[in-house]
Each structure stands twice: as C-alpha cells, then as structure tokens.
Amino acid sequence: MTSYDAWLDPQEVKRLAGQLLEPAPTAMAKPPGDPSFGADFVGFDAEELEAKSPAPVLRGIDGLRQRFAHGMFLLDERGEAIFAEGDAGQLQSLAIDFARSSVETRRGVRLKIDAVRWLELVPIDSPESRRVFGAIVTAPLDSATFQEIEATLGE
C-alpha cells in the first residue's frame, strides 16, 4: 500500500501496463497496402478501370468549375488526378495523404491553406470506387454544396 493507492487503482494500472507489453490488438488495424479505402473497398481491377470512361464525370464539372474558380481536382482510387484545374495541383499530394490516412469523416476534411483560403476534401463514394474531390474555397462549404458535389461526381 503506497500513498498513491488512494489516487489510482494499482490493479488497473498493472492491467493496462501489461497490455502494452503484449502484441498489439490487430483486429481494428487496417490491412497494409490500401489503408485509404474503407472496409467496403474490394480492390483494383485493371481491366475494369481501363474500360471506365471518364466522360460522365467530366460532363458534370462545368457547374463546379464556375463555383470553384480558385482551383479544384478529382483523384481516383490510386491518388491520380482525373482532372485538376487552377491552383490546386500542388495540393494534390496533400489530398493523397489524407486519402491514405486513417481519417474517416462523413463530410471530408477542411484545411486552412493560407490567410483567406481553405482546401476542402470531399470523399466521393460509389459502388465501384472512392474518389477524392478537392477544391480551394474562401469560405467553408455549406451542406447544399456538399450535396451538389456528391450528386455531380457520384453519378
């Protein structure tokens, strides 16, 4: 019995410390290789990817182009640009970092990139893939804009 026993539970401390010495639990750990994609990601099929036409996506960006004049991009599952416009190109690698990190949020990620601008990263999920849309904005996106992006690019 030490004077610290009143402040903490020694048995609990020993249990927690013991866990640190054991092999780490791996059940929640994501498998190496493609940590960017959720549990529903089924892998790449080269032929299928080649067969896909980018046309439907590109048809939808005209409206977004007006809205995101500072720059925007769309990355595919491999982190490669399907399109990139404006000043956003240099931020693509940052977006790829995010796409590959373990961050999972419903509405994406917002980064302050300078005094007046933000980079918004929005995951675009479809049954076949997860893409990442990025846009440079001067004000955070509102809910309606998120929906417009998802509707336009998620088709």
Partner 1 sequence: MGKTTLSINLAHAFAKAGVKTLLIDADPQGSVGLSLTRQSRSLPGIYDYLADPGIALDRLIVPTRMDTFALVASGQASDYEAGGCAAGSYLARMRMFLGAAEALGYDLCLIDTAAGLFGLTGDVIAAGDAVVIPQQAEPLGIRSVPKLLEGLNRLRVMNPRLSVLGVVLTMVQHDLPESVEAAKAMRQLLPSELVFDTSVPRHGLFVKASARGLPVGALEDGAGGLAVFEALRAEVQGKLDSRGGRMATHGR
- Binding of residue 101 to partner 1 (CB under 8 A): yes
Figure out which of the listed residues 45, 48, 80, 97 binds partner 1, where binding follows CB under 8 A: 97
Nearer of residues 17 and 51 to partner 1, judged by Cβ: 17
Integer Cα distance of 95 and 119 in angstroms? 9
**Binding to partner 1 (CB under 8 A): which residues in 116-155?**
118-119
Cβ-count burial 99-118 (b if 16+ within 10 Å, e if not): beeeeeeeebbeeebeeeeb
Question: How many Å is the Cα radius of gyration of the chain?
Answer: 21
Binding mask 21-40 for partner 1 (x = CB under 8 A): x-xxxx-xx-----------
Integer Cα distance of 99 and 111 in angstroms? 13
Binding site for partner 1 (CB under 8 A): 2-4, 7-10, 12-14, 16-21, 23-26, 28-29, 90-91, 93-94, 97-98, 100-103, 105, 109-113, 118-119
